[in-house]
Amino acid sequence: MEARDVIIAPLITEKSMAGTLHQQYSFEVHRQATKTQIRQAIVAIFKVKVVKINTTHVSGKVKNFSRRRTRTSGKQPDWKKAVVTIAPGQKIELGGVNYFEQ
């Protein structure tokens, strides 16, 4: 797997923004990616030193839909989240703009 296949997207939420004060950044990653692959991808893409990685599998939500007087339910896909802690004094910038800085 290439580095761009491992890291799908950064997670921009209130909780992930609060983690940036402690050098922690959250990413959506490929479901079969290991911590070693995630570490190598972060180093290759952002050129930072990774101290620690925490991963978790997030279950998809069950949603109910109503169309044309029929009710159906569906499920969003499951996904994997990685919280990456980088070395002090470093930061991650995406596209020239640091989305994580407050």
Which helix (DSSP H) or strand (DSSP E) does residue 9 occupy? strand 7-10
Residue 95 pLDDT exceeds 80: no
Q: What is the mean pLDDT of residues 42-49?
A: 94
Q: What is the mean pLDDT of residues 34-55?
A: 96
Name the pTM for this structure.
0.83
Residue 39 pLDDT exceeds 70: yes
Decide if domain 3-86 falls under CATH 3.30.70.330: yes
- Per residue in 8-17, pLDDT (tens digit) is 999 988 898 8
Long-range CB contacts for residues 18-23, cutoff 8 Å, separation at least 24? 19/83, 20/91, 20/100, 20/101, 20/102, 21/102, 22/85, 23/51, 23/85, 23/86, 23/87, 23/88, 23/90, 23/91
What pLDDT is attached to residue 28? 96
Q: Where are the domains of the chain?
A: 3-86
Instruction: Measure Cα distances from 8 to 66, 68, 77 in Å.
Output: 31, 35, 14
